[in-house]
Amino acid sequence: MNKILILPLAAALAAPTYAVTFQRWQTADGATVTYAERRELPIVHMEIVFKGAGQTGESVKGAAAMTADMLTSGSEQYSEEELYDRSNRLGITIGSSAGTENASVSFASLSRRDTLSDGLKLANQIIAHPKFDEKILEREKTQAVTALRQSLSNPSFLASRALTILNYGNHAYADTARLNEADIAAVTSDALKAHHRSTYAKNNAYVAIVGDVSRKEADEMAAAVLDGLPAQADIRPIADIPQTDGRQQDIPFADKEQAVVVMGLPLLVHKDPDRYALTVGNYILGGGGFDSRLMKTLRDEKGLVYGVSSSLSPLEKKGPFAVSFSTKKGSAAEALAAARSVLENFIAQGPTEAELKQAKDNIVGSFPMSFDTNAKTVGLAAAVGVRGLPLDYYDNYTRNIEAVTAEQIKEVWQRRLDPKKMNVVTVGKETR
């Protein structure tokens, strides 16, 4: 869940596409800073990632997401209304979110010194001195329960949630999928304070800064936003993924005309040695929209679905590969069999040279758009920092994509993925 405090920053401040050079260093306090100078516009973006502060680092279920949501809801110095008013007056953007592994705070401001200085003081209050007010917590919990109830009426959400549990069992990666109303109700302000104190620290902070500031100013910005945080985080290591494959679950859902089918398994880690072959292969299989094999077979040839896609989501301990689609209730079994067949044939035969060329052209051709704004670039800078990627990772990305061969894709996919071991969830299949 992402919570944005306010968005008054001029929407027109978008940077053109051009080469970016990243620098990286460690501060005296142990934080890692990744920085790229961009002087075209008087704006600076910053993202602070706290590694291990996501759901895998929580002792109380739901504490990670609620902690991130509450950061912008009042601090020791300012109430929620005062934070809103001050950010609005300064014209800054501050947001906070928590994911599976990490939590992050985003910040954007004009680079004018007085505005930036005051904005950083406000960001520091949010990051280092949140209040976790009891009354606001009750409001947030009520909203979280309402959101959960609404999500549970969505068959796609049910399918994704169930697949995550099949993929990861009792592993922490499935904690959010197992979250229920009782878990939300049980979250206390003390639990949020404890989570913040143990996982928001200087030594697990990865600060990405992109924009109209010098390296010296970037170093000062990192020190300013982290001031007052503990020196050392107390992060729980992420356990290995249990063997939970080849399972299938059918979930009744009577209120919709269509069934949702998802299939997948844990597959990709950060800095995976096979990532380029997996990325290009996934594009050919189902990540390339109307160009993909799954789309051509299930939609164009068989008319079973309107859309179908596959995705790769890397994590420290094997993030999921997934295939998902909606179909008529009575066609769920046929569509699933067709999707399995496409996957099996792709793994057995590999891609054609025409498919490979098209995939590479599209991946490489769209890649510069990843840097067309500071907001996008700061996310890439954050990834370079928190994942420990080489500084030239993105410089070499397209070259590594271009180097992938059809034989390499075939070998990697045969070695890494067995279609028979994929977990499958169907929501709303017709029963007879």
Return the CATH class of domain 2-226: alpha beta
Counting every residue written for the chain, the total comes to: 432
Q: pLDDT of 288-306, one tens digit each?
A: 999 899 999 999 999 999 9
Given phi > 0 = left and psi -120 to 50 = alpha, else beta, which region is 246?
left
- Give the span between the Cα atoms of 363 and 9, in whole angstroms: 31
What pLDDT, in 10s, does the model give residues 322-344? 999 999 999 999 999 999 999 99
Angle at 237 between CA 203 and CA 49, to 5 degrees: 40
| Contact of 219 with 33, CB cutoff 8 Å | yes
Beta bridge partners of 251: 427
Tens-place pLDDT, residues 92-140: 999 999 999 999 999 999 999 999 999 999 999 999 999 999 999 999 9
Domain boundaries 248-427, corresponding CATH code: 3.30.830.10
Average pLDDT, the chain: 93
DSSP string over 33-90? EEEEE--SSSEEEEEEEEET-SGGG-SSTTHHHHHHHHTTS-BSS--HHHHHHHHHHH
Helix, strand, coil percent content, the chain, rounded in steps of 5? 45, 20, 35
pLDDT of residue 256: 74
Q: Are 213 and 111 in contact (CB under 8 A)?
A: yes
Half-sphere exposure of 279 (CA within 13 A, CB side): 20
Cβ neighbours of residue 197 under 8 Å, at least 6 residues apart?
A: 230
Is residue 20 very low, low, confident or very high in pLDDT (cuts 50, 70, 90)? confident
Would the pLDDT of 14 be above 60?
no
CA dist 343 and 418 (Å) reads 9
Could you tell me the residue ranges of all domains in the chain?
2-226, 248-427
Cα–Cα distance measured from residue 239 to residue 90, given in angstroms and rounded to the nearest whole number = 43
Q: Do domains 2-226 and 248-427 have the same CATH topology?
A: yes
Sort 134 into a burial class: Cβ within 10 Å, 0-12 / 13-18 / 19+: exposed
